[in-house]
Amino acid sequence: MAISDEDSKAVPKEQKTEVNKTTSSKSTKRAVKTDTDSASEVAKGRGRRTRTNSNKDVKPATPVENQSGEAQKPETVAQSAAPDSAAAAADASAATGAATAPEKAATSAGSEDKGATVAAQNPANAAGSNGNGANGAGAGAGAGQGSGPKRGIYPIITLRSIIITPAANVQLIAARENTVLALKEALERKQDIVVISQTADSELRPAKEDLARVGVVANILNGSYNEKDQYRSTIRGFARVSIVRLIDDPSDQVRHAEVEFLKEQEVDPLVAARYIDALKAALHTALDIQKQGGRAIMDSNIPAEMISTICDSTTLGDLADGLSQILMLPNHDKKYILESLDPMARAKSLIAFLNNFSYKAEVDKKIAEDARAAMDRSQRDFYLNEQLKAIKRELNIQVDDSNDIEEYRQRIAALDAPEEVLNRLQKEVSRLSIMSLNSGENSMVRNYIDTLLSIPWRKSSQLNRDLSKARDILEQDHYGLKKVKDRILEFLAVQTRREQKDPHGQILCLMGPPGIGKTSLAASIAKATGRKYVRVALGGMYDESEIRGHRRTYIGAMPGRIIQSMIKSEVNNPLFLLDEIDKISTNSYHGDIASALLEVLDPEQNNTFNDNYVDLEYDLSHVFFIATANSYNIPPALRDRMEIIDLSSYTADEKFHIAREHLLPKQLEKNALTPEEFDISDDGLKELIVHYTLEAGVRNLERIIAELCRKVVKELMIKPPKDPSKVKKRVLGVKEIQKLIGPKRYDFTSKLKDNRIGVVNGLSVSSVGGDMLQVEVVANEGKGSHLLTGQLGSVMKESVFAAIAWVRSHARAFSMAPDFYQYVDLNVHFPEGAIPKDGPSAGCATVTAIISALTNNPVRADVAMTGEITLRGDVLAIGGLKEKLLAALRGGVKTVCIPQENEKDLWDIPKNVTTKLEIVPVKTIDEVLDIALVNKPKTFKPTTLEDWTLEGYLEREKKRKLRDEAEEHKFYMEIKDSSEGSIGEIKNHRDQDVVDTSIPSVPSVPNGVPPRPEDPNGGEGGHEPPAPTVSPQLAVE
């Protein structure tokens, strides 16, 4: 039996127990091991021999190292005690009044920091002995009979997660120094000691609230050091107590406690006798089950004499306490028994435990018998089958089905495969030929042989080497996609030039938005190259075994998707489509699929691909791999092994031809219509493309055409024509389409109707194509705040701030005061605020809109622009150029400013787009402003530091005003020479019709800040800064 704490497992070891008679009663000791601190693990110290004189000085316990090598504080360890020789028993009887002996230690094992190992020793006589210790008998009698003191002060030791009942003789191996001192002090003074469990395992001196509610007062029978320099002591509990208070003296390492003895409840003798009989009957049933090889209810090393002694107990309480110490009870049950003062309650708990044990044992026995019967049947069948095989071998009869074995051998002989594969097949067939038909491995071997025979090891299909035929097939199946078609024809040309089956390492990745025909294009490529087509969808795949297969040791194992697809294709050179390769899971605990695909897609490795199920090398170098993806969200190592071909969205012209040549005929056939019955006009198709779909591909366009076909079929079925041979062809135009499927669903952003201040045509791109995005800026009087609206992302906000910074640094170049930003609030808005926007490509449009708003300079409505801006005014490259140019063309603009770095991308733009737009590559923002602003800005390039200051600016304005006055005077002098009247009369006539818009002179004021024009004090009273309007003149003021 093992007594352990709740968090550990007991590891029983073989222990020896001796029985000896003492002068007071027949006492036996039982060795018990727990999963707490063992003697060998708790005390690692060496060098001292066993001490037998308990009255000698206490040797401090040696610190113990735990498993990690760190020093561990001493602990209290309890071990079972066994009776010694008669002489030793006599010495113990003289000293303590009870039969004790030096113990024979039992080895215990467990964790380093848990409690003590406890062994019961004649628990039936523990509580009822007389004359044990100085106050043991008196205290025990007083507590049990009401004739002694109710309270007392005793030394106290605490055990970790170990519970001792009053009827237990136990042996403690003390490791903690304070426990050793307490035991020795109590033994020297012939005093009893209190033993109690602590609930906080980490505390060396636990507080009262960290102790159990009920403990035990025990006699100390002996104490000595063993050969491992550990202090051993045998104690015997005799009464239950509760802690009243702890007495902690800082100068004394031994703790004392005032305890109150707990009185048991009285039980009717007749009732107690019934409970005793029931408890003994349950115990005998459990012991019978244990003897028959069932579950163990107690340690098998416990002597029968000890069990008999416990069962001879005359009181119900003694019987319950004794059984609780030898039975394998959980700690919570022992705690309940210790704390319960009602003997009947303790007996009920034990009876329930024993009955539950017996029920579980019976269930275990039935399960074991059923399993044994099944095993016997299996062994009988196996024995008979082996005899049958021997008889058949003697008669030269095949053990297995001769037809199957012969068929396998014929298929192996006809198989074109490497030598290693043939040898493996021969070996597996030989195993199968002598294998029992009823064996579970029979079906596994058959499946493996069938798989190896089905794999196309060297079987290839005849490839198409006619480039003209391949080009015609590609053109027939798909419109546009010139880049992909050229790449496939290049591949076929090289293949034909090398005059071999196919070149190795053809791995392409078609990258583009959904709906543009990547998957269908792969099928067309297979048709054009003469290869068989297989497809594996990788979207959402998370288990590496889906690629490499499962090992044959697992039940239900099968090859991976690669080998399965090769078996399906029946050739070793198909076109293998890995669809949605960017959707694979890369953080699964089942393995990394991307890493497994590295071997498949590496031309230098895939000729030795190894599937876990096949367990043989397979050559994938003849396979033409094509992957598809919507984004570049592919692991870098995997992306590096593929040749990526970018596919952009279709233009409106391409969609029109696709709808006319492919989608409409396809839907006519699906909906049982003929070209003579139904058609859609060119204007109708364009209307569907522009106003009823918003996508990069043509999926929704096909759905709309299918919807129109269904509605027409419904009308024909509801009102069929009288003469079917004279059905009038129905051609749907724009108005008919609106009647059938409703008004326009989408509209595109078009250019502004007139030139406006602070509004610029920007360009954007999304997953469904490009669109125009107008940028609006408003400048108001304020304190220099910036407000950005339109649900902008962090990158776009940074782009706007960079644009504002550039405008501030070039304010004087546009005739604005250098500190204008202190008095102007800017609101930059991107319309359609419900749509999230992000990206840096709106930098040029933002700068242009801000300059326009601050200088009252309108922006051309027929100009659109895109490009990222830097703080130095450089225009950087952007993405999605094709989609943006298509949006500009659709929006009706004439001129588009693009970054000069994107000029190289124009070759990929259809000519019908580039010829209809004036595309201007720009390098700096100055070039954009020259093109976009209606009035060309008068640039100013400062040469000295003083030119950047407000004083320098005012001096420059003064010179300009003098120059303008001189020119004006010269102009009037010329008029005077050619007309009558004085100069004053001419000026008065001019002032009646013309408003003077010249910049007024700015007086010099403190701190360089001009006063407000309406300030009558000329800037006094704090010199409040001016609040200019958006006009250049007021911005200067």
Whether 123 shows a pLDDT value over 60: the answer reads no
- What integer is the mean pLDDT of 559-573? 92
Q: What is the mean pLDDT of residues 546-573?
A: 89
What are the residue ranges of helices labelled H in 327-401? 331-339, 343-394
Residues 25 and 107 in one domain: yes
Q: Does residue 987 share a domain with residue 1004?
A: yes
pLDDT at 983: 56
The answer to whether residues 600 and 477 belong to one domain is yes
105 and 240 belong to one structural domain: yes
DSSP code, position 1011: P
Mean pLDDT over 471-484 rounds to 84
In this model, does residue 946 exceed pLDDT 70? no
Q: Over 60: is that where the pLDDT of 619 sits? A: yes
H or E, element range at 1033 = helix 1032-1036
Assess if residue 384 is contained within a domain: no
The pLDDT of residue 143: 40
Supply the pLDDT for residue 979. Answer: 60
Residue 776 carries which side chain, given as an amino acid letter? E
CB contact set of 30 (below 8 Å; sequence gap of 6+):
1, 17, 80, 119, 120, 121, 299, 301, 302, 303, 306, 326
Measured between alpha carbons, how far is 430 from 434 in angstroms, rounded to an integer? 7
C-alpha distances in Å from residue 547, one per residue of 284, 544, 652: 60, 6, 40
- Mean pLDDT of all residues in 449-477: 88
In this structure, the strands spanning 786-789 and 824-829 are parallel
Lowest mean pLDDT among 97-111, 618-632, 643-657: 97-111
> Under a CB-based contact definition with an 8 Å cutoff, are residues 24 and 93 in contact?
yes
Q: Is residue 260 pLDDT above 80, yes or no?
A: yes
Structure tokens at 896: 């588009």
> Residue 419 — very low, low, confident or very high, per pLDDT cuts 50/70/90?
very high
Long-range contacts of 629-632 (CB under 8 A, 24+ apart): 629/509, 629/510, 629/511, 629/580, 629/581, 629/582, 630/511, 630/512, 630/513, 630/514, 630/580, 630/582, 631/511, 631/582, 632/511, 632/582
pLDDT value, residue 590:
67
829 or 92, greater pLDDT: 829
Whether residue 132 has pLDDT greater than 70: no
Mean pLDDT of all residues in 740-760: 85
Per-residue pLDDT at 865 exceeds 90: yes
Mean pLDDT over residues 559-570, rounded? Answer: 92
In this model, does residue 79 exceed pLDDT 50? no
202 shares a domain with 95: yes
Give the pLDDT confidence score for residue 116 in this predicted structure.
38
At 627, the pLDDT band (50, 70, 90 cuts) reads: very high
pLDDT at 703 over 80: yes
In this predicted structure, what is the pLDDT of residue 529? 85
Contact 811, 847 (CB under 8 A): no
Is position 197 within any domain? yes
Percent of the chain at pLDDT > 90 equals 19
Q: Check whether residue 288 and residue 432 sit in a common domain.
A: no
- Asked if pLDDT for residue 388 goes beyond 80, the answer is no
Longest CA–CA span in the chain (Å) reads 158
The pLDDT value given to residue 37: 36
pLDDT at residue 938, rounded to an integer: 54
* Residue 710 pLDDT > 50: yes
- 27-31, 592-596, 619-623: segment of lowest average pLDDT: 27-31
Q: Are residues 978 and 900 in the same domain?
A: no
pLDDT of residue 834: 82
Q: Please indicate, yes or no, if residue 1035 is contained in any of the structural domains.
A: no
Please state, in angstroms and as integers, the Cα–Cα distance from residue 523 to each residue in 430, 511, 575, 749, 760, following that order.
43, 16, 8, 37, 45
Picking from 646, 676, 711, the residue at the C-terminal end of a domain is 646
Question: Does residue 178 share a domain with residue 152?
Answer: yes
pLDDT tens-digit series, residues 974-994: 776 666 555 566 556 555 544
Average pLDDT in the 722-750 region? 83
The H or E element that residue 217 is part of is strand 215-225
Last residue of a domain, one of 932, 961, 977: 932
CB 869, CB 923: distance < 8 Å: no
* Claim to verify: residue 273 and residue 169 sit in the same structural domain: no
How far apart are the C-alpha atoms of 82 and 18, rounded to whole Å?
A: 5
Which of 313-322, 373-382, 570-579 is predicted least confidently?
373-382
CATH number of the CATH domain containing 213: 2.30.130.40
Average pLDDT value for the chain? 75
Lowest mean pLDDT among 145-154, 615-624, 817-826, 830-839: 145-154
The yes-or-no answer on residue 884 being catalytic is yes
Residue of 47, 318, 334 whose CA lies nearest to 163: 334
Whichever domain contains 291, its CATH number is 1.20.58.1480
**Among 365, 651, 631, which residue's Cα sits nearest to residue 510?**
631
Is 841 assigned a catalytic role? Answer: yes
Over residues 465-494, the mean pLDDT reads 84
Token readout for 533 is 């087509």
Q: What is the mean pLDDT of residues 93-109?
A: 31
Backbone angles phi, psi at 269, to 5 degrees: -55, -40
**In this structure, what CATH number is given to the domain that contains residue 486?**
3.40.50.300
Residue 678 shares a structural domain with residue 773: no
CA 657, CA 650: separation in Å to the nearest integer? 10
Q: What is the DSSP letter of 540?
A: T
* pLDDT(934) > 70: yes
Range of the structural domain that residue 964 is part of: 948-1027
Among residues 621, 799, 841, 852, the one annotated as catalytic is 841
pLDDT at 450: 92
Options 518, 837, 882, 884, the catalytic residue: 884
**pLDDT cut 70: percent of the chain above it:** 75
Closest-CA residue to 773 (of 852, 826, 825, 835) = 835
Residue 387 lies in a domain: no
Are the beta carbons of 933 and 848 closer than 8 angstroms? yes
Q: What is the pLDDT of residues 277-316, one digit of tens each?
A: 888 888 888 888 878 777 788 887 788 888 888 888 888 8
Q: What is the pLDDT at residue 315? A: 85
Instruction: Give yes or no for a contact between 98 and 83, defined as CB atoms under 8 angstroms apart.
Output: no
Residue 999 covered by a domain: yes
Q: Which of 691, 707, 741 is the last residue of a domain?
A: 741
Task: Say which residue, 512 or 395, is predicted with more confidence.
Answer: 512
Q: What is the 3-state secondary structure (H, E, C) of 773-840?
A: EEEEEEEEECCCCEEEECCECHHHHHHHHHHHHHHHHCCHHHCCCCCHHHCEEEEEECCCCCCCECCC
pLDDT by residue (tens digit) across 950-964?
555 567 677 778 888
- Tokens representing 981 are 């009247």
Q: Assess whether 789 and 905 both reside in one domain.
A: yes
Q: Which residue has the higher pLDDT, 143 or 351?
A: 351
Please compute the mean of the pLDDT values over residues 153-181 and round it to a whole number: 82
Number of domains comprising the chain: 7
- Residue 957 resides in a domain: yes
Q: What's at 1015, amino acid-wise? A: D
Same-domain check for residues 584 and 498: yes
Is 1018 part of a structural domain of the chain?
yes
**Rounded to the nearest 5°, which phi and psi values hold at 693?**
-135, 150
**Is residue 389 one of the residues assigned to a domain?**
no
What's the CATH number where 712 sits? 1.10.8.60
- pLDDT tens track for 181-216: 888 888 888 888 899 888 877 677 788 888 888 989
Residue 457 is predicted with a pLDDT of 93
Decide if 860 contacts 757 (C-beta within 8 A).
no
